[in-house]
Chains A and B, each alone.
Chain A
Amino acid sequence: VLKVLLLLGALGALLGGGGGTLAARLQPHGAKVSQVAIALGKPGRANQLNVPGVGLAAGDTMQRPFDLKNAGKVDFTAVTLTTTASPSSTLDTDPSGGLHIQLDSCPKKWTQVKKSPTYTCKGAIASVLALRPVLGTNVVVPGLAHLKKKKTVHLLMTIVLPASAPNSVQGQTSTLTYTFTAI
């Protein structure tokens, strides 16, 4: 029992009084091994996420291709997506009749169909994130879980306003922020 008490006492000193010291000690070590870095493609051909969608009707879809790169020195162990809205509207707060999001990947860059905001893949399309309501916090993106270091994945975000969208979703505007976090 005495040994246990001594050990707990040492723990208290370490986590309580010496918390700052412990964190400081870990920093150089963490910086050395982590180098986790995730990066979206530069806005333009490699990232169309900032292209707005205007005048959506029920059943409409928006397709936006973008590249996502593991720019660090380690493979990812997980990637999450957090989507927030500000300003918000029923477009994002209605989980059934509001906007839904889906992610797919293509082994090559997505090809735009001529004179159309739609895209095709010259290869096998893989599901990255199944269709779900657009808002979410730390939603695990299964298809990006083990993205290798230095590798870029070509993604297509599809935003869907369901055909069942109620009239209350008419004439609404939301600005969405998509945040991808790699671990």
Chain B
Amino acid sequence: MNRIASTWHEAATTTKLLASLAVVAVAAGVAGLGTFATFTSSTSANQSISSGTVQIGAGTPGPANRLTVGASDLAAGDTVQRAFDLSNSGSIDLSAFTFSASASPSSLLDTDTTNGLQMVIQKCSQAWTESGPPYTYTCGGTTSSVVASRPVIGSNITMSNVSDLLTNGTTDHLLLTLTLPSGAGNTLQNQSSTISYTFTGTQRAAASK
């Protein structure tokens, strides 16, 4: 008897629970409709944002860029001159300009820092006057030193007298001169290197716009 009564009691409790759940469902439905229908307000604004560009480049291969022209059969004491333009064509000013050169394939021409190739970079206030090939150059304006004589291979080499290039929309006329020192020994004969020149511009310091 007790067991049967207990079973009914449980059944009755279950019914009440269901009823309660149903009531909660009604309340939730009403609250949901009310909130969705009326209880919000929005306001908005539009804003256009654009980023600038850091863009530097060497001139198009040709008179504005002879860096791609190779040199062969160098003898001790020979020089190789190659003019090129360097431009800042981005929209963001720069804070620094650096230069790197690497070799692949490499040889004693670039690994011998004393008797291997040495480089100099100069700037002319106007386009270099070219003759040749083999190319030689004169400057009809004023010249200034950009990189003083040093072994050709190096990383992040500081470039002087190119501060005008930090402002976008400017072009400098540069001349790379490679020299195989007259002291180069026989070990440097019949060597071959391919050298990559990389110029890197770094954007100005961050600012509030």
Contact = CB atoms under 8 A, between A and B. Distances in A.
A15 B44 CA distance: 34
Contacts of A170: 51-54
A53 B52 contact: no
A26 B35 contact: no
B43 A60 contact: no
Q: Which of B26, B43, B52 has the most CB of A within 10 A?
A: B43
Give the interface SS of chain B, mostly helix, strand, loop or mixed.
mixed
Interface in B186-209: 203-209
A131 interface: no
A47 B43 CA distance: 12
A182 B92 contact: no
For chain A, the bracket of interface size reads 35 or more
Contacts of A165: 51
Contacts of B38: 26-27, 30-31, 34, 36
A17 B48 CA distance: 48
Give the interface SS of chain A, mostly helix, strand, loop or mixed.
mixed
B104 interface: no
Interface string A164-183: 01010111111111111111
Contact of B45 (A40, A56, A91): A40
A8 interface: yes
Q: Which of B29, B47, B204 has the most CB of A within 10 A?
A: B47
Interface string B48-71: 111111100000000000000000
B45 A177 contact: yes
A176 B44 CA distance: 10
A4 B14 CA distance: 10
Interface stretch (B17-25, B107-115, B154-162): B17-25
B19 A60 contact: no
For chain B, the bracket of interface size reads 35 or more
Contacts of A64: 47
Q: Which of A30, A40, A72, A159 has the most CB of B within 10 A?
A: A30
Nearest to A36: B41
A110 interface: no
Nearest to B203: A57
B4 interface: no
Given A31-B38, A55-B92, A91-B49, A177 B44 contact: yes
Nearest to B54: A170
Contacts of B23: 7
A168 to B, nearest CB: 10
Given A14-B26, A36-B39, A173 B45 contact: no
A117 B207 CA distance: 10
A84 to B, nearest CB: 9
B46 A177 contact: yes
A1 B29 contact: no
Given A14-B26, A57-B204, A63-B208, A180 B51 contact: no
A-B complex: 10 closest residue pairs judged by Cβ atoms: A59-B206, A30-B38, A55-B52, A49-B45, A179-B44, A173-B50, A52-B48, A171-B53, A53-B49, A181-B42
Given A11-B26, A57-B203, 13 more contacts: A15-B29, A29-B34, A37-B41, A55-B52, A57-B207, A170-B52, A170-B54, A173-B48, A176-B47, A176-B49, A180-B43, A180-B44, A182-B41
Interface of B: 15, 18-19, 22-23, 25-26, 29-30, 33-35, 37-54, 91-92, 203-209
